[in-house]
Amino acid sequence: MGGRVAAAFKPALALPAVLAVALVPVGCGGGSGDAERGQLSTAPAGGPRPALCTSLRARVTGHVATPAATELSGLVLSRSQKGVLWTHNDSGDRARVLAVAPDGRALAEVALAGAENVDWEDIALGPAPNGGDALYVADIGDNEAQRSSVAVYRIDEPRVAEGRSQSAPAHRLTLKYRDGAHDAEALLVDPSSGALVIVTKDFGNTAGVYVADRPREGTTTMLRWIGDIALGAAEPVTAGDLSADGRTIVIRTYDGVFAWSRRAGQSLATALRGRACAAGADLLVEGQSEAVALTADGRAFYTVPEGEEPPIRRWARVR
């Protein structure tokens, strides 16, 4: 991990018609309904330093034992079903998600009725409109930055019936960047407001952070740029996650993971303005790997690379 530095946030200027990177801080408020404007604190986000920001060691917990897994690109751990990891393939596959156990056992396959896999890149858990958890599948990849809009598909989290194929109706949330098309691979869902947060895949020292505050089915929601995360010498962003306890946010790249602390009720956008630290893990050992899933307490995370029968690794503190 030599040469990597902790991530810093460069906020957006509140200009009426132009988006630009601020050279000085502009503000934000507090609480679950924070606007992304107001006074920005230059202090850390608050709360304890993320437990991940120390030396980590990987343990292979199993290999994904289904031929359906060929190019896994997203990963998230269920909050309500013990030992269930949800994942999906990248572009070219059917519109489906897979449930696997940490030991690699295939648990279920769920087709997303009415969805299309143009370029699925990440999966997240967030609030369902009628209560409980929903899966949010991010069809946000755009290698050539040419898509006029992207999509996030929401389904109520299915109850896993091991070995049984299922189907669930998909609700399409259509999104459009206000400042033109972007390639992106990281999705977070705000547990307080349901806002969608997308972090772009940029080849450089920063990654753009975009927010869709109130996405609704049947309409196009504009993604608002709120600033950039400065990643130093890190590789491009490929995934993100929020722990089930809501206290830890991670953004991963090809080679590593950055972690933020989040206070109760704080919006994800505001939390990402705080200082991040780099986890002590070199993910390049995995080869082509883009996915990350935090454990419930945010003290460890799972990863899985692409390829046939890929290994699932659990990264945790060296004891």
Q: What is the pLDDT of residues 183-200, one digit of tens each?
A: 999 999 999 899 999 999
Checking if the pLDDT of 37 tops 90, the result is no
Contact 199, 251 (CB under 8 A): yes
pLDDT at residue 7, rounded to an integer: 78
pLDDT at residue 48, rounded to an integer: 77
pLDDT at residue 232, rounded to an integer: 79
- Average pLDDT, whole number, for the chain? 87
| Residue ranges covered by each domain of the chain | 8-13+39-317
Highest-pLDDT range among 24-28, 35-39, 171-175, 270-274: 171-175
Buried b / exposed e over 79-97, threshold 16 CB at 10 Å, is eebeebbbbbbbeebebbb
Checking if the pLDDT of 161 tops 90, the result is no
Checking if the pLDDT of 20 tops 60, the result is no
Which range has the worst mean pLDDT, 5-9, 100-104, 169-173, 239-243? Answer: 5-9
Q: Name the CATH architecture for the domain at 8-13+39-317.
A: 5 Propeller (2.115)
Structure tokens belonging to residue 259: 């972690």
Nearest in space to 153 (alpha carbons), one of 108, 130, 119, 181:
119
Phi-psi region of 196 (alpha: psi -120 to 50; beta: other; left: phi over 0): beta
User: What is the percentage of the chain residues whose pLDDT exceeds 90?
Assistant: 77
DSSP letter assigned to residue 171:
E
Structure confidence by residue, pLDDT tens digits, 106-119: 999 999 999 999 99
Checking if the pLDDT of 121 tops 90, the result is yes
Checking if the pLDDT of 65 tops 80, the result is yes
pLDDT at residue 6, rounded to an integer: 62
Structure confidence by residue, pLDDT tens digits, 200-230: 999 888 899 999 999 999 999 999 999 999 8
